[in-house]
Amino acid sequence: MGVFQIINRVNGKVLIGSSVNLRAALNRFKAELKMGSHRNEVLQSEWKQFGQENFQFEELEILEPADDPAYDPAEDLRLLEKLWIEKLTPFGEKGYNKKTGDDT
């Protein structure tokens, strides 16, 4: 589990996300983009325009599970993702993320 990014190698734009299962999340994103069904319309459009060979999928930070069986990583993942979003500011011309409260 951890935080990942999808990088457009042509224009440098990134999408930041997090998941309890990074491998599954990245595979899902790739499959949705290949099928043309990803919910991020700008990312989907640029995937079609530039081709999958111009996108890179990376793990930014791994969150190690706690030994406590009652541990819920949701809040830790949310905070880690927020920190990476603040660091990389992947909005507008720099990325595919939407600012909180921005429903456009």
Write down all domains in the chain, each with its CATH number in brackets.
Answer: 2-91 (3.40.1440.10)
User: What is the pTM for the complete model shown?
Assistant: 0.88
**What is the reported pLDDT for 70?**
85
Residues 53/7, Cβ–Cβ less than 8 Å:
no
Residues 51/10, Cβ–Cβ less than 8 Å:
no
Residue 71 has pLDDT above 70, yes or no: yes
**What is the reported pLDDT for 104?**
36
**Which residue in 73, 101, 94 sits closest to 2, CA to CA?**
73
Distance, CA of 37 to CA of 11 (rounded, Å):
22
Q: How confident is the model at residue 67 (pLDDT cuts 50, 70, 90)?
A: confident
**What is the reported pLDDT for 103?**
43
**Chain-wide mean pLDDT for the chain?**
93
